[in-house]
Amino acid sequence: MGRRKIEIAEVKDPNTKQVTFSKRRKGLFKKANELSILCGVEVAIVVFSPGNKPYSFGHPSVDAVAAKFLEPNDVQGNGSPNINEVGDMEMLNQQLSNVEAQILEQQKKATKLGERLRKHEVKQLSKPRESQDSFSQLQHNTKDYFDAIEVSECLMLLAQQPVVGIKKRVSKKRRKN
């Protein structure tokens, strides 16, 4: 959409990245706003800048969307429970291709990280192809279920914004392969 076509890969130059972020975040929010108005629907977005500053957009507000999401009883649309989807396979593929490259490059670092990862029962990264396959498969098998849950939880958390001392504990889990 600019003078030149750019590949969707992380922008290296910090300055350019920041500029890109500003422009695209603005564009994203605008799109979200249009969507909410055109279709009379509710939307909520949270995004972090390269500098880790959080930005958000909500129509009518992030809280409102969260509340609605968490109140399935109020939804009598068509009887369909919370159904969620991550997006299109196309998008996922785009992510995957990106991930593959990163995995390869980070394999070394990942090794160093090994210890910490293991603490969390996260095994070492393996070949990209494997990831892709499993992911694709997973995508198929748990598309609806998976993300629906993910979001509901996020919203639940967001819904309680004025929160400060949330403590999350993750017990060591046993791998059961």
Partner DNA sequence: AAGGCTATCTATAAAAC
Partner DNA sequence: TGTTTTATAGATAGCCT
Q: What does the alpha-carbon distance between residue 77 and residue 52 come to, in Å, rounded to a whole number?
A: 38
**55, interface contact from DNA, its own copies, none, CB < 5-8 Å by kind:** its own copies
Which of 4, 5, 15, 166 binds its own copies (CB under 8 A)? It is: 166
Residues contacting its own copies: total by CB under 8 A? 138
Packing angle between helix 128-159 and helix 62-70, nearest 10 degrees? 100
Q: What are the backbone dihedrals phi and psi of residue 61, each rounded to the nearest 5 degrees, phi first?
A: -170, 155
Using CA atoms, how far residue 65 sits from 70, 71, 81, 150, 157, in Å, is: 9, 10, 16, 15, 12
> What's the min distance (Å) between Cβ of 9 and DNA?
12
Query: Which DSSP category does 122 fall into?
Result: -
Is 88 among the residues that bind its own copies (CB under 8 A)?
A: yes
> What's the min distance (Å) between Cβ of 32 and DNA?
10
Token output for 137: 């498969």
Is 168 among the residues that bind its own copies (CB under 8 A)?
A: yes
Residue with tokens 């400060």: 164
30-59 binders of its own copies (CB under 8 A): 30-59
**157, interface contact from its own copies, DNA, none, CB < 5-8 Å by kind:** its own copies
Pair 59, 32: CB distance under 8 Å: yes
97-136 binders of its own copies (CB under 8 A): 98-99, 102-103, 105-107, 109-110, 112-114, 116-117, 120-123, 125-126, 128-135
Binding residues vs DNA (CB under 7 A): 1-6, 15-16, 18-20, 22-24, 26-28, 30-31, 34
